[in-house]
Amino acid sequence: MKLVIRSIVSIIRTPSLVIAVGIIVGLATIISANVIEPISASVAMFSQIGSETAQATFSDSLISYALVIKTVIEFMKNPMYILLLLAGAIVASVFIGALLSLAFSGIFGKLFRSFEKSKKTSKGSEISIINETKKNFLKTWMMNSIYIMLSIVILLISMVAVVPGFMYISSDNAGMIGFGVVLTIISALVILMMFLFLFSYLSFWYPAVFSEQKGMIRHSKKVVDKYFFGIMIRTFATLVIFIVANYLINVFSAGVVAPYKIIGLILKWLFNTIYIAYVISYFFEMYKFLNKKYNGSVRKKENN
């Protein structure tokens, strides 16, 4: 409960975090409503071609998805296309990482020191967004780029990993359908563990950067190693809350007439902005708490 309160207080003391997150979430919401959802609707319409029913069945949708992924895989058998994809992913990761670092490196620095009584850091500079950006831009840029590239890899693996299960589920053989369901569940669990593992470690990189201690990345890894399961459970809980809340908002939006769908978009924007800002603040405070606890245990062992 103490971490929750400190996280909320940190947000209040760093309103720029909410503003920056709100802008990015707003852009993502607009893109989702005007680009991603129309594409999804087009895929659904494509899956209806040749179907005897007015609406595409669940099996039709799975087959369409699997065919799209298989087509992409066939396309990527050409080494030149693979190189272009890798180059594009690297360029995109570096570019987006630079933009995010420019937007958040200073804000994260101020967030990390939101409870410091002194107006100056240990190096004597004022705690301001501009100064924190100058100090931490390059380190945050590097972490953002790595994080984005790893996320792209996991996304690609996830998209391919579920194809075999989908193909078995869409089969007319009842035995194969059961096998497909089990295979899909196993694939989903492996993908979830990959995400939780990645997020648990990389989320502590960011606050570690602003701790001004030597070997910050290596030290943050030691902290996560010692308290991994507790961190992973919290990560899983934040993910579940995010998914369930967005699902409920989408259900609400689908159940209202067109003129009122804007209410659903506003609700989604408000919730995601506040929740993501809170999660960022919470993980910063959790790192500070566990880091202090870890250092205390190390000193205790050394004294013994």
pLDDT of residue 69: 64
Mean pLDDT of 201-221: 79
Residue that the structure tokens 């589920």 belong to: 169
Mean pLDDT of 178-199: 82
In the chain, what percentage of residues exceed pLDDT 90? 10
Indicate if the alpha-carbon torsion angle 259, 261, 267, 268 is positive or negative. Answer: negative
Mean pLDDT of 75-81: 71
pLDDT of residue 176: 74
Q: Of 95, 85, 100, whose CA–CA distance to 27 is shortest? A: 100
pLDDT of residue 64: 59
Per-residue model confidence as pLDDT tens digits over 217-226: 788 888 888 8
Q: Of 6, 2, 1, whose CA–CA distance to 281 is shortest? A: 6
> Three-class SS of residue 255?
coil
Residue that the structure tokens 């501009």 belong to: 130
pLDDT of residue 273: 94
Mean pLDDT of 82-109: 86
Within a 10 A sphere around the Cβ of 11, how many other Cβ atoms?
20
Q: Does residue 59 contact residue 169 with C-beta atoms inside 8 Å? A: yes
Across the chain, what does the average pLDDT equal?
A: 78
Residue that the structure tokens 């931490």 belong to: 136
User: Which ranges in 32-128 belong to alpha helices (H)?
Assistant: 37-47, 58-75, 79-112
Q: Is the pLDDT of residue 62 over 60?
A: no
Q: Of 133, 94, 114, whose CA–CA distance to 15 is shortest? A: 114
Higher-confidence residue: 74 or 210?
210
Range of the domain at 21: 2-303
Give 241's pLDDT tier (boundaries 50, 70, 90). Answer: very high
Q: Does residue 108 contact residue 210 with C-beta atoms inside 8 Å? A: yes
Torsion, Cα 97 9 283 108, to 10 degrees, reads 20
HSE, CB side, 13 Å, CA atoms: give it for residue 5: 2
Mean pLDDT of 184-212: 82
pLDDT of residue 53: 45
Domain count, the chain: 1
Within a 10 A sphere around the Cβ of 79, how many other Cβ atoms?
8
Q: Is the pLDDT of residue 54 over 50?
A: no
Give 274's pLDDT tier (boundaries 50, 70, 90). Answer: very high
Question: DSSP secondary structure string, 5-60?
Answer: HHHHHHHHH-HHHHHHHHHHHHHHHHHIIIIIHHHHHHHHHHHTTT-SSSS--HHH
Q: Does residue 61 contact residue 49 with C-beta atoms inside 8 Å? A: no
Mean pLDDT of 78-100: 85
Q: Is the pLDDT of residue 275 over 90?
A: yes
Buried b (16+ CB within 10 A) or exposed e, 101-113: bebbbbbbbbbbb
pLDDT of residue 270: 93
Q: Residue 190 is encoded by which pair of tokens? A: 């492996």
Q: Residue 234 is encoded by which pair of tokens? A: 């919290």
Mean pLDDT of 77-100: 84
Q: Is the pLDDT of residue 38 over 70?
A: no
Q: Is the pTM here over 0.75, yes or no?
A: yes
Mean pLDDT of 28-55: 57
pLDDT of residue 242: 92
Higher-confidence residue: 149 or 157?
149
